[in-house]
Amino acid sequence: MTKENIAKLVKKAIKELQQEKVFPEFAVPEILVEHPEKQSNGDYSVNVAFKLAKTVKKNPPEIAEAISTRIKTSKTVKKIEAVSGFINFYLSELFFQQELNLILQQKDKYGSQQSKKTAVIDYSAPNIAKPFGIGHLRSTIIGQALYNIYQFLGWKCIGDNHLGDWGTQFGKLIYQIKKKTKKDWPKLTIDELEKLYVEFHQEAENCPEMEEEARNYFKKLERGDKEAKAIWQACVDTSLKEFDRIYKLLGIKIDYVLGESFYGGEPMQKIVAELAKKKISSQSQGATVIMDNSLPPAMVLKSDKATTYFLRDLATIKYRLKTWQPDLFIYEVGVDQSLHLKQLFSAVKRLGWIKKQELIHVAHGLVRWEHGKFSTRKGQTIHLEDVLQEAVARAEKIIKTAEFSEKEKKEIAKTVGIGAIKYNDLSQHHSRDIVFSWDKILSMDGNSGPYLQYTVVRCQSVAKKAKIKSLGEISFVDLNEFEENILKTVYKFPEVVQTAADNFSPNLICNFAYDLAQKYNLFYNQCPILSPENNTRLALNAVVEQVLKNCLKLLGISIPKRM
């Protein structure tokens, strides 16, 4: 029994009442099915009677009563009642018994679906010649979680790491490298490249003509100047090695790494021509721009005919449409890119490239230090590798008292530390800004990664002590409130995953996992699970373990063998 099933039952009852002239003819509105806050009010609740009051010209309790009496109970719905205008549904013990067996049978497939749709997910996208900053952490882990969720729901997912490897900033870097270094460009480290970039902006404040020189160097790069291209390639090679190291630490693997430079040349020239032919672009002070009544102008070509980030993004969409034919484009990009993406999506629609496909911007907030936003130009960026190493070191201190070997401690610390970093971000809605706080990230209590990891390890420990290969027939007899709390929570997992996908919100899975973990730990503390005559409790232990493991897998969080 799902929300969709409940909605269909209610809709059918309303139509029957219309046919019998009890209700007048009207278009039946969307039936919203929710879970009541109080367990005593059932497992599902429908408030459609309040929506229909004006149309039917009866009060909500009377409408709810009329609808509820038309819906018959079944093997999975044991009671339906109308209370104060709400229609409450109570699921049967058979339903919960079947659901528990389904979880134990399907294991890591529980909650998954099948689909023929394709999604392209644009995420991570660090900038070449800059260390992987904490600012890119959000895009990386939220994007990966969305990838995992959609893939779990049966979508063909294509992850594309759209590297920032082109643009005027490389003119600045080439200028500074030629000015400050000899011809040993491949030996420059990522930290040295960042330092050169910061120094350029510091020096340019007193020497504005440097900006023009940088633009000239980028024009040389676009025209294929050998020296400029060699310097640029050295920066790319050095950066990719560093990024790969960080992705390995995070346990991230993205399908494609296609930087902005990949889309240069003829494809962009064709788009410029198409924009002109369809009279979407125009000239303004020598530059090619797209005018839109609802948005500021978007620049396609600069007055010196150099390409722009906007044009390269148009070429990227064109390539993705041709190569993968996606139904959905998800851009997991910071909120500061909102205007750019509105302009981009508008241009794509005006060009007629998009028919039924959706273009979605999942706009994450900023990661802030106490003094404000991180900034590479001012040299105040926080390197992600430093943060990850600090998280692992702090986690190792926490588990120092445990009786583990040094090798085990390091492995557990890595899993817990990096899991804590990921969960701290994913447990908050992507639109929120995050103020970086170690106390919150590595909390071993409450809504944290370590708390969930520990709960799974606890479940595994119970199962190991039980030494039972098969749980046999599961039956429910006089369940107490702690057992019921688990039973009436685990079955919601599939709909939580679907809702998280629909809203592009992995935090909903975090909320569910935390709620389930809390209920399990109360159950663990109040009920002897290893009682030989009660396999129901062992079954509850097993399903909690499985569902929490499914949650953490979707979030990209590993589980240590011991804690």
With CA atoms as reference, report the closest residue to 557 among 451, 477, 462.
451
The tokens 């103020």 sit on which residue?
Answer: 435
Query: 166 near 260, Cβ under 8 Å?
Result: yes
DSSP conformation letters of 90-142: EE-HHHHHHHHHHHHHHGGGTT------EEEEE---PBTTS--BGGGHHHHHH
pTM for the whole thing? 0.92
CA distances from 441 to 94, 325, 394, 433, 548 (A): 41, 39, 10, 15, 19
pLDDT for 123 equals 97
Average pLDDT over residues 145-169: 95
Is pLDDT above 90 for 535? Answer: no
- List, edge to edge, every strand of the sheet that includes 367-369: 372-373, 367-369, 434-435
Residue type at position 96:
F
N-to-C CA span, the chain = 37
Q: 118-373 maps to which CATH number?
A: 3.40.50.620
Query: 103 near 490, Cβ under 8 Å?
Result: yes
Instruction: Give the C-alpha separation, 396 to 555, whole Å.
Output: 22
Q: Report angle CA 210, 216, 218 to the nearest 5 degrees.
A: 105
530: confidence class by pLDDT, cuts 50, 70, 90:
confident
What's the pLDDT tens digit per position in 13-28? 999 999 999 999 999 9
Is pLDDT above 60 for 543? Answer: yes
Residue type at position 410:
K
Is pLDDT above 60 for 466? Answer: yes
How many other β-carbons are positioned within 10 Å of the β-carbon of residue 218? 25
Residue type at position 296:
P
The dihedrals phi and psi of 380, each to the nearest 5 degrees, come to: -105, 15
Instruction: Give the C-alpha separation, 242 to 131, whole Å.
Output: 7
The tokens 């269909």 sit on which residue?
Answer: 8
3-state SS assignment for residue 432: coil
How many other β-carbons are positioned within 10 Å of the β-carbon of residue 60? 19
Instruction: Give the C-alpha separation, 255 to 421, whole Å.
Output: 23
With CA atoms as reference, report the closest residue to 181 among 225, 234, 224.
234
- Distant-in-sequence, close-in-space partners of 270: CB < 8 Å, separation ≥ 6: none
Extract the tokens encoding 374. 């991180």
Average pLDDT over residues 33-46: 93
For the packed helices 507-526 and 493-502, what is the interaxial angle rounded to 10 degrees?
160
For the packed helices 190-204 and 209-222, what is the interaxial angle rounded to 10 degrees?
130
pLDDT for 373 equals 54
Instruction: Give the C-alpha separation, 93 to 371, whole Å.
Output: 55
The domain over range 384-555 is classified in CATH as 3.75.10.10: no
Average pLDDT over residues 180-190: 83
Average pLDDT over residues 179-191: 84
What's the pLDDT tens digit per position in 305-338? 888 999 999 999 999 999 999 999 999 999 999 9
Q: Looking at the domain covering 3-91, what would its CATH class be?
A: alpha beta
3-state SS assignment for residue 82: strand
Instruction: Compute the radius of gyration of the chain from its Cα atoms.
Output: 28
DSSP conformation letters of 342-376: HHHHHHHHHHT--SS-EEEEEEE--EEETTEE--T
533: confidence class by pLDDT, cuts 50, 70, 90:
low
Instruction: Give the C-alpha separation, 363 to 142, whole Å.
Output: 10
Query: 10 near 67, Cβ under 8 Å?
Result: yes
What's the pLDDT tens digit per position in 110-128? 999 999 999 999 999 998 9
pLDDT for 153 equals 98
Domain ranges, ordered by start, for the chain: 3-91, 118-373, 384-555
pLDDT for 370 equals 58
With CA atoms as reference, report the closest residue to 302 among 293, 311, 294.
311
Largest CA distance in the chain: 89
Per-chain mean pLDDT for the chain: 91
Q: Report angle CA 23, 24, 29 to the nearest 5 degrees.
A: 85
pLDDT for 381 equals 57
Instruction: Give the C-alpha separation, 92 to 75, whole Å.
Output: 7
Extract the tokens encoding 504. 């592009």
- Distant-in-sequence, close-in-space partners of 156: CB < 8 Å, separation ≥ 6: 117, 118, 119
With CA atoms as reference, report the closest residue to 384 among 78, 73, 127, 106.
127
Query: 452 near 513, Cβ under 8 Å?
Result: yes
With CA atoms as reference, report the closest residue to 32 among 7, 9, 66, 12.
7
Query: 506 near 142, Cβ under 8 Å?
Result: yes
- Distant-in-sequence, close-in-space partners of 417: CB < 8 Å, separation ≥ 6: 388, 391, 392, 393, 394, 395, 396, 442
Is pLDDT above 60 for 129? Answer: yes
pLDDT for 160 equals 97
Instruction: Give the C-alpha separation, 231 to 182, whole Å.
Output: 11
